[in-house]
Each structure stands twice: as structure tokens, then as C-alpha cells.
């Protein structure tokens, strides 16, 4: 498709969506751009300088980058020197998950990698360890990592790097990162926490999580797509072999001229998310519980995954027996509601979720898993819209079964 045709197609689709009654319930895939982030990015586009240049224009661009770096550092509770900007959370994962880590006090680099069975694919596949040096820590039936099994794994073999997400992108289940980190550090290991879903919804401060590194992504908290960050709790711990080599930007950790506008938007979104986080967690938790009540009222046999453990306040993952995920996603989309049947990175094909498989969910139930995720622009109208649409879909499905 030619560029002009592609743009016209995009514009026509965008116009249709604006005119239609649409409810967006897929924040864990990507959040709508916050107005603060939009304003910051647009202002940065007007800055002509290269952040590496020493003239006035270059210094102005550098100031934008460093202001954003400070905002992201505040969100993670670290020094700005610990923040390395990347093009995505995926790139940050590929950058840090490597034996080539320069550790403080001359400690040896990690000899192996342990990942939980519920990790995002950018963690489970986005590493630079040889296949034989990667181990998978199992999940319990409630979706949390099995700490007893993890402790046993840490006692075996050489020094380990542990990769454990802060919260699962599909189920919203919050992992016991601090407890797992204590086990890993007691065994002399390093801890990497994928905090992409945690950021802006719950605290993602490295000191509270006990993580040596955090992975963040701007577009999950209302910033632009195409910018992320690798955050080190201590600047003394660094990646010795960067993925991208060149001009030495980001203190040698990531070469290439910085995405000034994207980084500016990231910083603005981080500031807004941090300022609103406590109030938003309470507000979104109430909306999530309303969604859960609506599901139970029209489908009493519905299964909510992770209902017995702590979850993100914005996330609800459920299945209605007898209704497949692809059927419900399409029906809701036709009703004007955007939801997901799993990680957006796996869209285009509906397959059984590895996360639900690791939780030992029955295949027939897992095949119907739907994720609802809320965010800064969500409100009562979207919740009511979903409830009305779901009731109609369940009614039509039941009527169709009786007729058959």
C-alpha cells in the first residue's frame, strides 16, 4: 500500500472511531496519549538541536532529555544517572538480560538466567543467555511465582539473574517481587523487574521492589509509543555490552541520537502518572469491581483469573464457559468496545495463553479468556457500555444454544 493510501485509510478509520460510540478497555496493550505528554512532545518537535551538540540549540535539546530523565527516575525512585532511554520496553529487556553485566564491588557476572513462567515474551525470548543457561520458575495455581521452587533453583548452580515481572500483563496478578528479590540477593544474584504494567498503577520504586534493574515503557502510562527505559537502581551496575554501538549516547549504553520528542512525552506522562497514582488506583479499582459485578450478574458461571490474590487495580481477566475469546472480542468490537484476548504482541492469532497454562487453567476455560484494562481516561460511561453489550451478547449466545 502506498504511503498516501495508508494515511487515508488511517484517517478514515480514525474519523469513524471518533464518530462512533467507542469504549476503550485495552490500556494494558497501550494507553491513549495523555494531554500533558502530547503537549510536551509537540513542544520538543520545535527544538531543532541534537542533544549531543554543544551549541545553544543542542543544549536546549539536552535539557529536554534530562528533564524527562529526572521525571522517569522519580517514578522509579532512582538517580537520573540510572535511567537509559531505549526505543521500547522490549529493547530494554534485550539490553539488560545478558551475562555481560558490570557489577559493583567486583562481583562475578551472572552465569544463568531464571525467568518466571508468566513473563512477557520480551523477557522469555528477549535475552542473550545461551538456551542451556535459562531456567523457568513455575507459577502457583493462583498465578504468583512459586517462591519455594524459586529458592531451590537459586541454591543450585552459579550466580543467577532473576527476571520477574511486577504485574502480569494478561491477568493483572501482582508478583511478590520483593520476597523473590530477597531470595535472589541472599544467593548472590541480580534481579530484573519488568515494571511496564506496574508503572503508574502501583509503586514501582526499585528500592521497594528490591530490583537491581527495572524495565519501563512510555505508552503503557499515557506517553508516546516507541520509547522506553532501562532503569538501574545503582549507576555502578551497568550493561557492559550494549546492543547498539555508535556515538556513545546514553553514557555508552545505547548509541543513536535520542528521540527527543518521544522522551519528552515519556517524562510528562511519568510526572502525571506519579502525581495521580494513589487517587487513580482507588478510582480504577472501583471501576474494575463494577465490571466484575456486571460480568457476574449476566454470567454467574464466569471465571475471574487471579481473584484470590492482589491484582492491578485496573485489570480484570475473565472467561465465560462456552464462549470463546475470539467470538467475544469480535462481538464486543462490533458493539463499540475494545478489549483483548491476551498480550497485544500476540494478536493476529488466538492461541492458548502460556500464562494461564502455567496456572494450570483448564484448556476450555483458558480458550475464553478476555482481558479488560482501564486507565486515565476510563469512566462510568465505558463501564456501563460494556455491561449493556455483554448482557446482549450472553443473551444471544444462550438463545442460539437453545435454538440449536
Catalytic machinery residues: 345
Residue 173 to residue 123: CA distance in whole angstroms: 17
Cell of 233: 537502581
For residue 101, the 8-state DSSP code is E
For 260, what's the count of Cα atoms within 13 Å in the CB-facing half-sphere? 20
DSSP string, 58-108: HHHHHHHHHHHHHHHHHHHTS-GGGEEEES-HHHHHHHHSSS-EE-GGGPP
Grid cell for residue 204: 514501582
The rounded distance, in Å, linking the Cα atoms of 108 and 158 is: 10
How many angstroms separate the CA atoms of 43 and 61, rounded? 11
* Residues found in the chain: 404
Give how far the C-alpha of residue 68 lies from the chain's centroid of Cα atoms, to the nearest Å: 19
Chain centroid to Cα 354, Å, comes to 16
| Chain-centre distance for alpha carbon 359 | 20
Amino acid at each position: 500500500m502506498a504511503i498516501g493510501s495508508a494515511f487515508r485509510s488511517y484517517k478514515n478509520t480514525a474519523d469513524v472511531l471518533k464518530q462512533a460510540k467507542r469504549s476503550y478497555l485495552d490500556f494494558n496493550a497501550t494507553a491513549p496519549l495523555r494531554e500533558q505528554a502530547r503537549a510536551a512532545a509537540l513542544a520538543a518537535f520545535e527544538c531543532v538541536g541534537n542533544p549531543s551538540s554543544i551549541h545553544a540549540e543542542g543544549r536546549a535539546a539536552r535539557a529536554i532529555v534530562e528533564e524527562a530523565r529526572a521525571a522517569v527516575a522519580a517514578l522509579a525512585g532512582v538517580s537520573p544517572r540510572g535511567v537509559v532511554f531505549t526505543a521500547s520496553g522490549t529493547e530494554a529487556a534485550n539490553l539488560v538480560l545478558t551475562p555481560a553485566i558490570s557489577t559493583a564491588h567486583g562481583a562475578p557476572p551472572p552465569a544463568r538466567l531464571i525467568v518466571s513462567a508468566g513473563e512477557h515474551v520480551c523477557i522469555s525470548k528477549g535475552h542473550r543467555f545461551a538456551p542451556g543457561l535459562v531456567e523457568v520458575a513455575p507459577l502457583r495455581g493462583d498465578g504468583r511465582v512459586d517462591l519455594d521452587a524459586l529458592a531451590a533453583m537459586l541454591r543450585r548452580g552459579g550466580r543467577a539473574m532473576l527476571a520477574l515481572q511486577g504485574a502480569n500483563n494478561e491477568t493483572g496478578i501482582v508478583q511478590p517481587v520483593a520476597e523473590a528479590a530477597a531470595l535472589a540477593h541472599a544467593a548472590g544474584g541480580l534481579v530484573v523487574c519488568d515494571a511496564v504494567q506496574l508503572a503508574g498503577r502501583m509503586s514501582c520504586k526499585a528500592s521497594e521492589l528490591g530490583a537491581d534493574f527495572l524495565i519501563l515503557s512510555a505508552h503503557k502510562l499515557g506517553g508516546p509509543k516507541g520509547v522506553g527505559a532501562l532503569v538501574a537502581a545503582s549507576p555502578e551496575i551497568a550493561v557492559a555490552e550494549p546492543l547498539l554501538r555508535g556515538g556513545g549516547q546514553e553514557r555508552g549504553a545505547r548509541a543513536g541520537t535520542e528521540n527527543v520528542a518521544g522522551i519528552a512525552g515519556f517524562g510528562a506522562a511519568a510526572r502525571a502518572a506519579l502525581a495521580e497514582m494513589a487517587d487513580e488506583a482507588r478510582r480504577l479499582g472501583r471501576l474494575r469491581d463494577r465490571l466484575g459485578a456486571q460480568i457476574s450478574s449476566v454470567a454467574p458461571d464466569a471465571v475471574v483469573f487471579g481473584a484470590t490474590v492482589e491484582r492491578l487495580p485496573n485489570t480484570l481477566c475473565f472467561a465465560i464457559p462456552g464462549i470463546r475469546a475470539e467470538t467475544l472480542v469480535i462481538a464486543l468490537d462490533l458493539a463499540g468496545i475494545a478489549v483483548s484476548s491476551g498480550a497485544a504482541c500476540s494478536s493476529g492469532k488466538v492461541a492458548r495463553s502460556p500464562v494461564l497454562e502455567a496456572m494450570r487453567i483448564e484448556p476450555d476455560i483458558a480458550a475464553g479468556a478476555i482481558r479488560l484494562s482501564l486507565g486515565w481516561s476510563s469512566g462510568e460511561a465505558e463501564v456501563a457500555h460494556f455491561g449493556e453489550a455483554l448482557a446482549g451478547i450472553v443473551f444471544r449466545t444462550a438463545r442460539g444454544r437453545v435454538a440449536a
